Amino acid sequence: MKRKIIPVLLILIIGGSLFFIVRGQDRGLALRGEVEGTIYSQVADVAGKIVEMPVELGSPVRAGDLIARLDNTDQKYALEQLQIVLEKRQLMLRTLLKGARQEELEKARSDVSIAEANYHSAEATYRQAQDDIEPLVRLWEAGGVAQNELDRARLRETIAAESMEAAAGQVRKAREQLSLLQKGSDAETIALAEEDIMDAESRIRQMRETLNKYEIRATCDGIVISINYNLGSMVNAGYNVADISADREKYVVCYVPREQSLQLTYGQLFTVRSGSVEHQGELRFIDVKSQYTPKDMQTSATKNKVSVKVKLLLPPETTLKGGNRVEVIVR
DSSP secondary structure code for residue 212 in this structure: H
What pLDDT sits at residue 230? 93
Please indicate, yes or no, if residue 179 is contained in any of the structural domains.
Answer: yes
Assess contact for 77 and 223: CB atoms under 8 A: no
pLDDT at res. 15: 44
Is residue 15 situated within a structural domain? no
Asked if residue 8 belongs to a domain, the reply is no
Which CATH number do you get for residue 57? 2.40.50.100
Structural domain includes residue 271: yes
32 with 78, same domain: the answer is no
* Residues 30, 295: Cα–Cα separation, whole Å: 16
Look up the CATH number of the domain holding residue 266.
2.40.30.170
257 and 194 in a common domain = no
- 190 residue type, one letter: I
Q: Choose among 84, 47, 44: nearest CA to 166.
A: 84
Q: Do both 202 and 112 map to the same domain?
A: yes
One-letter amino acid for residue 162 of the chain? E
Please give the Cα distance from 144 to 21 (Å, whole number).
Answer: 72
Count other Cβ atoms within 10 Å, centred on residue 77.
12
Give yes or no: residues 113 and 224 share one domain. Answer: no
3-state secondary structure of 135: helix
In a domain, 97, yes or no: yes
Beta-carbon contacts of 280 under 8 Å, excluding residues fewer than 6 positions away, are 269, 270, 271, 272, 315
Residues 83 and 163 in one domain: yes
Please indicate, yes or no, whether residues 89 and 132 belong to a single structural domain of this protein: yes
Q: What is the pTM of this model?
A: 0.52
Q: How confident is the model over 206-260, as pLDDT tens digits?
A: 999 999 999 999 999 888 989 999 999 999 999 999 999 888 789 999 999 998 8
Task: Tell me if 89 is assigned to some domain.
Answer: yes
**Positions of the chain with pLDDT under 70:** 1-27, 98-103, 182-187
Q: Are 94 and 181 in contact (CB under 8 A)?
A: no
Q: What is the model's pLDDT at position 234?
A: 94
Return the biggest CA–CA distance within the chain: 134
What pLDDT is recorded for position 186? Answer: 61
Predicted pLDDT of residue 145: 74
Q: Is residue 200 part of a domain?
A: yes
Give CA–CA dist 258/227, Å, rounded: 38
Domain containing residue 155: 73-211
Residue 326 contacts residue 35 (beta carbons within 8 Å): yes
Interacting residues of 154 by C-beta distance below 8 A, sequence separation 6+: 133
Residue 192 lies in a domain: yes
| Nearest partner of 195 among 84, 81, 93, judged by Cα | 93
Burial of 273 (0-12, 13-18, 19+ CB in 10 A): middle
- State how many domains the chain has: 3
Question: Are residue 252 and residue 324 in the same domain, yes or no?
Answer: yes
Last residue of a domain, one of 195, 223, 243: 243
Task: Tell me the per-residue pLDDT of 73-99, one tens digit each, with 9 for 90 and over.
Answer: 999 999 999 999 899 888 888 877 766
